[in-house]
């Protein structure tokens, strides 16, 4: 493991000052978030549109802090659609996801989602039928989501692959071609192609995907005499939990997109990262309840656990953390402690899977010390199984 994450002073100050009754606490550093988003925006070519994939962290405070830096939001359910529209009214929404229901599509039409990413022929026919019920309204702008085959080894490094192989996501490229005749006479307007093939990729792999999707979209447009000028190349920019200081190489990625745009005049490129925008600015702060040694190994049991922060269990990593030592120990008996040894940080759940970090060397860790888990700003609280065991929910703090 790399050196511990450096906890920014304002987060450390807040985490230390929180009353014990407020722990565990999610602390989101909105200033750091805005800084990260501004850097990403600055690295991308000006004409590339940056959308934020809301499912990574849909907290309204997060959505609003990103608003000055993004062109819009990608939403993947009717719930997200209504929530994001309300939190950041007036900013464009792209509605994707497999298995959209008729009420969800009706909601998208009613709320005027700026783009709908169509994932199957069935969905296309349903959307066309719903749009036909609204004759006075503007045409509905859509992208076809396509599951293109991956180049050799291209998605090998991915943490999650949604495409590039058989999957329920998007259209097989041949089926996408077969969709085109279905558009005739409908109130749907095909603006381009969407592809989100995998999450957890580095800049070279994502640039290769972007180039292939763009070439495919352009060729499709030419074969059918369509001006398909929009290409949404998805999200999936990697975050590395083993290296909390590292960032996705936005500079290289932006330079690559600029080259791609130069090769395809008139192209409107869009990217929609989730985790890479919000992961680094979120913290999960808690305290050590107990330290014990079991069969020669040290365990620190913290308040809370994977029912609040499921990310390390779901992804199989150690969540990076900083220790905030506290000197107060008011009990009349010795303070349980681990000294200069590897410690496993587990939670309060009655399952051996409730582990936040495994066998991580620490200089000292004592009952009552506070722990700030880093990189807890994406796919954290909102993917966790909150109700298991009925422990209290964390408190939430947004520092601006």
Ligand X SMILES: *Cc1c(COP(=O)(O)O)cnc(C)c1O
Name the residues annotated as catalytic.
350
Q: Which residues pair with 171 in a beta bridge?
A: 146
Given candidates 7, 15, 53, 207, which one binds ligand X under the rule CB under 6 A?
A: 53
The 301-320 contact track toward ligand X, x by CB under 6 A, reads --------------------
Q: Does 56 bind ligand X (CB under 6 A)?
A: yes
Token pair of 164, please? 């590039």
- Between residues 127 and 158, which has the closer beta carbon with respect to ligand X? 158
We find the least distance from the C-beta atom of residue 250 to ligand X, in angstroms, to be: 13
d(CA 254, CA 190): 26
Our finding on whether 322 is near ligand X (CB under 6 A) is no
Helices and strands (H and E) in the chain: how many: 11, 18
The two structure tokens encoding residue 53:
């994939």
275-294 residues in contact with ligand X (CB under 6 A) are 275-276
Distance of CA 396 to the CA centre of its chain: 19
CA-wise closest residue to 30 among 73, 70, 59: 59
From 171-179, 271-279, 300-308, 340-348, give the range in contact with ligand X by CB under 6 A: 271-279
Stretch that binds ligand X, among 49-57, 314-322, 328-336, 339-347 (CB under 6 A): 49-57
Q: What are the backbone dihedrals phi and psi of residue 98, each rounded to the nearest 5 degrees, phi first?
A: -80, 155
**Closer Cβ to ligand X, 256 or 273, answer by number:** 273
CB of 105 to ligand X, least distance (A): 17
The DSSP 8-state label assigned to residue 393 in this structure reads: P
> For ligand X, which is the closer residue by CB, 196 or 370?
196
Residue 187 CB neighbour total at 10 angstroms: 19
The nearer residue to ligand X, 159 or 389, going by C-beta atoms, is 159
Q: Which of 272, 287, 318, 354 binds ligand X (CB under 6 A)?
A: 272
Q: Is 76 in the site for ligand X (CB under 6 A)?
A: yes
H or E element that contains 159 = none
Q: Which residues of 154-182 are buried (b: 16+ CB within 10 A; e: fewer)?
A: bbeebeebbbbeeeebbbebeebeebeee
Does residue number 196 form part of the binding site for ligand X (CB under 6 A)? yes
DSSP letter assigned to residue 249: -
Calpha distance 291→242 (Å, rounded) = 24
**Quick one: 123 or 272, whose CB is closer to ligand X?**
272
The answer to whether 91 contacts ligand X (rule: CB under 6 A) is no
Q: How far is the CB of 384 from ligand X (least distance, A)?
A: 16
- State residue 89 phi and psi, 5-degree precision: -60, 145
For residues 210 and 201, give the distance between their C-alpha atoms in angstroms, rounded to a whole number.
12
Quick one: which of 24, 235, 347, 377 contacts ligand X (CB under 6 A)? 235
- Which positions lie near ligand X, rule CB under 6 A? 53, 55-56, 74, 76, 96, 196, 199, 234-237, 272-276
């Amino acid at each position: 493991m790399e050196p511990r994450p450096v906890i920014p002073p304002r987060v450390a100050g807040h985490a230390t000052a929180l009353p014990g009754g407020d722990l565990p606490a999610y602390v989101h550093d909105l200033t750091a978030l805005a800084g990260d988003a501004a850097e990403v925006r600055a690295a991308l070519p000006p004409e590339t549109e940056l959308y934020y994939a809301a499912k990574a962290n849909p907290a309204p405070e997060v959505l609003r802090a990103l608003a000055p830096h993004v062109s819009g939001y990608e939403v993947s359910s009717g719930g997200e659609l209504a929530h994001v529209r309300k939190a950041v009214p007036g900013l464009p929404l792209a509605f994707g996801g497999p298995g959209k229901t008729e009420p969800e599509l009706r909601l998208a039409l009613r709320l005027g989602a700026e783009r709908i990413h169509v994932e199957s022929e069935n969905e296309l026919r349903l959307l066309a039928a719903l749009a036909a019920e609204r004759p006075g309204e503007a045409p509905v702008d859509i992208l076809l989501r396509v599951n293109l085959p991956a180049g050799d080894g291209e998605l090998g490094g991915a943490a999650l692959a949604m495409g590039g192989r058989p999957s329920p996501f998007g259209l097989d490229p041949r089926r996408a071609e077969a969709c085109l005749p279905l558009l005739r006479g409908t109130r749907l307007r095909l603006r381009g192609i969407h592809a989100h093939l995998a999450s957890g990729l580095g800049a070279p792999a994502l640039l290769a995907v972007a180039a292939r999707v763009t070439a495919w979209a352009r060729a499709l447009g030419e074969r059918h005499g369509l001006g398909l000028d929009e290409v949404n190349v998805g999200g999936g920019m990697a975050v590395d939990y083993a290296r909390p200081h590292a960032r996705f190489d936005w500079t290289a990625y932006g330079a690559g997109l600029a080259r791609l745009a130069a090769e395809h005049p008139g192209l409107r490129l869009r990217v929609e990262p989730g985790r890479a925008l919000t992961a680094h600015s979120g913290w999960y702060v808690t305290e050590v309840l107990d330290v014990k040694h079991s069969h020669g190994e040290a365990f620190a049991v913290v308040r809370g656990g994977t029912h609040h922060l499921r990310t390390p269990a779901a992804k199989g990593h150690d969540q990076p953390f900083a220790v905030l030592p506290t000197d107060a120990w008011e009990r009349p008996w010795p303070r349980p402690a681990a000294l200069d040894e590897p410690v496993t940080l587990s939670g309060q759940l009655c399952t051996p899977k409730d582990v936040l970090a495994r066998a991580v060397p620490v200089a000292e860790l004592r009952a009552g010390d506070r722990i700030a888990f880093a990189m807890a700003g994406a796919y954290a609280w909102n993917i966790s199984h909150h109700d298991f065991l009925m422990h209290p929910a964390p408190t939430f703090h947004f520092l601006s």
